Structure 1
Amino acid sequence: MFVGTHPTFIGGIKTTTVFGWRVALVTLQRAVMVLMLALVVVALGSLVLLITDPALPPLPLVFKAVSAFGTAGFSVNSTPRLSPAGLVVVTTLMFLGRVGFLPRLLAFAHRHTARVRHPEKASLMVG
């Protein structure tokens, strides 16, 4: 529910299967950055849930935060017992997971352009 959704589905960190292709280092770095930012968002959401609802057990709250970010809709019957602040946190996690702000945030990151650009390999028609 956190990782493994297809790009056409909703919520969570998107995955794409690539057969016979080499993944560029920049793409790999961006993927790791998206994963790290998603983990930070879920950890912060879990921490806020633990602070706003200290009477509830911690494991269901963390499960709820991961489920909300992945927009999976799973719950361990903890949603009805959340405080209003906890409901706002869950709603925010659901919105952030659905909109996918992480790749858009990375789009504003500084891009390093190579000084030398090698032509890409292409198959040419000969004859």
Structure 2
Amino acid sequence: MKSEAWVFGIVAVFFGLIAPAYWFITSDWTGTSALTMTMLLAAMVTLYLGFHAAKMDPRPEDRKDGEIADGAGELGFFPPYSWWPLWCALTLGVMVYAVALAAWWLFIIGVVLGAVALSGWIFEYYRGEHAH
């Protein structure tokens, strides 16, 4: 994680140098505040990764003597395909469309269908082919 902390640290320094230069060139508050917030966000990620890198054992990627075989094995659980995010996105689209039209009856239908779709997405690994 130390390498990731260094990457975000370099990004934070870059945006820290660019923000005043942008203000000096353009006098634009919007872009300057966006660049400043980007610098602060990168600094926050740098601190988080730096603190956790100091507390944990180095990964094979972080060690100078690390071999490719040291990283072999299970990396974690990666879910297979799922249709539930599509249904959640469609119901969110229905709700946004209903707000734009001020059709509250359509919004309520979207909320009900969205609750069903979200429940299906949350509990998809409790039943069926990929149950744990």
Output the TM-score relative to the length of structure 2: 0.26
RCO comparison, higher one (Cα < 8 Å, 6+): 1
More helix by share: 2
Q: If the length of structure 1 is used for normalisation, what is the TM-score?
A: 0.26
